[in-house]
Amino acid sequence: MTSAFAAEHLLFTPAQPDAAAVPTIFAFPNTYTVGITSLGFQLVWATLALRPDLQVSRLFTDLHEPLPAHPELLGFSISWELDYVNLLGLLEQLDIPLRSAERSESDPLVFGGGPVLTANPEPFADFFDLVLLGDGELLLDAFIDAYQQVRGAKRSVVLAHLAQVPGVYVPSLYQVSYAAAAGAITAITPVGAAPAQLQKQTYRGNRLSASTVVTAKAAWESIYMVEVVRSCPEMCRFCLASYLTLPFRTASLAEGLIPAIERGLQVTQRIGLLGASVTQHPEFEALLDHFERPEYDGVRLSLASVRTNTVTEKLARSLVKHDSRSITIAVESGSERLRRVINKKLETAEILQAAAHAKAGGLSGLKLYGMAGLPSEQPTDLDQTVAMLKAVKKAAPGLRLTFGCSTFVPKAQTPFQWFGVEPEAEKRLKSLQKQLGAAGIEFRPESYSWSVIQALISRGDRRLSGLLERVRHYGDSLGSYRRAFKEMRGELPPLSFYVHEVWPTDQVLPWQHLQGGLPQATLVKHLEAAMQQAA
């Protein structure tokens, strides 16, 4: 247990807890190797550990620091939908009732955060006493300060007080009404003084996040992560990473990025530049130039997905020099019509040019990402994807070309949240696999079944809590979910309602009372703009 923690290089000094410090557990519902690689987890842990009024212990599924016998706060960082299985397992391990309604005065307050919960916490609402919606930079200290004001009061008083903190969501203070047990939602009503509408909290500073710990035990061994940008200016209409985290923010090069990188290089030679659209940082060229200095010659540089028209020979050469062999770009589709529908501002010629630049700069691999089953997609759109990939192969002979493809999944808080998963998408993936295999292009499809499960959780309401409790004992296959739906028939809508149906825009959404990056009226306008392109 202690060896993993002993191997850590901390880039901050935890506070010495006060005598009256709040005993707190901060958990990641997966293994240490996965959890410690999450920049979000690192940041929240450091923020909590820097407070002398908290005594913080970390908990993972496979190891933990010494845990308090009677914790008052238990937090979870949720990065992946299916980690709810481990979340429930950890609650049981700690002998805490799974549902907030069943917890007593002696049980800790269970809180959670992260992109999964910020987008749509409703399928998990019954398991949490409260959810932090948005950026930890603003939420965490406000939450802890408010808790300290009512520490020791009755649970109901504490929750009512915390519900007044902007971005702190207390699910039990909202009554959800349905047309029928298996019908749509008709209303979401706050109880008492709970606010009718909650707004995700958005940090707007120009100093973004960077690793607080570096370890060889991480999934990305000994990597120091630096957040270059937050959100994405492109606003592809399906994209949670863009819409949920708006507005697009960039870290200051002189005040944020370079000092952060210098701190990281004191403990490691591996730097990861993170963000949904890293190369669109306005000073990215200057950052690249910074890495050209002789003292950085031994530094290994990793980049998140980059925008196609920013792939230059200079970028490729710099990556090769710093031990990267391939680059990843998201193209979504080979169809220019479909790219207009989804607001992907990209021409096929730019994709071919990016491939040529990657090869000319010395990269050996190019990974393209796309989707099947996008709204309004036709068989001819898929034919154009195949044709585009063949053209890329021809434009950059010898470059190892990989095409990763997932099924479109509707995400809450985006303009495409009203669409469903295309039932024909599985056949379309198989068709792509056959055609691309014949062309000698490596094809890596994401599981269609996993996309269905993702959509269920993405668009689910709190009636799913009972289903999720059942499924975790059955296994995480789609068949397990179908079995649970069959057993609960009449208690909630069918699987197809959540996953495949196109919902009308006047339907009450499970997350109607929770606003992400943009108000719903704006999302409807973006949806209408997409449909005009589809016509």
Residues in the chain where the model's pLDDT stays below 70: 1-2
Strands 54-59 and 73-77: unpaired
Tokens of 458: 């993405």
Q: Is the dihedral of CA 18, 24, 27, 32 positive or negative?
A: positive
Tokens of 56: 């913080």
Tokens of 403: 């095409």
Tell me the whole-structure pTM to 2 decimals: 0.95
**Three state DSSP letters for 186-197:** EEEEECCCCCCC
- Give the CATH class of 222-459+503-534: alpha beta
pLDDT for residue 475: 87
Give the side-chain half-sphere CA count within 13 A for 29: 26
For the chain, the straight-line distance linking the first and the last C-alpha, in angstroms and rounded, comes to 59
- Rounded to an integer, what distance in angstroms lies between the CA atom of residue 35 and that of residue 37? 5
Query: How far lies 114's CA from each of 41, 126, 424, in Å?
Result: 9, 17, 32
Cis-peptide, bond into residue 23, ω within 30° of zero: no
**Three state DSSP letters for 418-450:** CCCCCCCHHHHHHHHHHHHHHCCCEEEECCHHH
pLDDT for residue 73: 98
- Rounded to an integer, what distance in angstroms lies between the CA atom of residue 250 and that of residue 209? 11
Whether 419 and 526 have beta carbons less than 8 Å apart is answered as no
- Rounded to an integer, what distance in angstroms lies between the CA atom of residue 359 and that of residue 315? 11
Quick one: which of 49, 107, 23, 38 has its CA closest to 77? 38
The H or E element containing residue 199 is: strand 198-199
pLDDT for residue 2: 62
**Residue 467 identity (one-letter amino acid):** L
Q: Give every CB contact of residue 103 below 8 A, 6+ residues apart in sequence.
A: 96, 97, 110, 129, 155
- Rounded to an integer, what distance in angstroms lies between the CA atom of residue 460 and that of residue 420? 12
- Rounded to an integer, what distance in angstroms lies between the CA atom of residue 393 and that of residue 436? 11
Q: Give every CB contact of residue 104 below 8 A, 6+ residues apart in sequence.
A: 97, 155
Tell me how far the alpha carbon of residue 535 is from its chain's centroid: 32
* Strand order from edge to edge, sheet including 130-132: 54-59, 22-27, 73-77, 109-113, 130-132, 168-169
Whether 260 and 226 have beta carbons less than 8 Å apart is answered as yes
Fold of 2-199: Rossmann fold (3.40.50)
pLDDT for residue 306: 86
Q: Give every CB contact of residue 242 below 8 A, 6+ residues apart in sequence.
A: 231, 232, 233, 234, 235, 236, 276
Q: Give every CB contact of residue 370 below 8 A, 6+ residues apart in sequence.
A: 330, 331, 332, 333, 334, 385, 403, 404, 405, 406
Quick one: which of 132, 159, 184 has its CA closest to 460? 184
Quick one: which of 257, 258, 237, 255 has its CA closest to 246? 237
Backbone angles phi, psi at 195, to 5 degrees: -65, 145
DSSP string, 108-169: PEEEEESHHHHH--GGGGGG-SEEE-B-HHHHHHHHHHHHHHHTTS-HHHHHHHHTTSTTEE
Q: Is 236 helix (H, G, I), strand (E, B) or coil?
A: coil
User: Could you state, in order of their start, the residue ranges of all structural domains in the chain?
Assistant: 2-199, 222-459+503-534
Whether 402 and 367 have beta carbons less than 8 Å apart is answered as yes
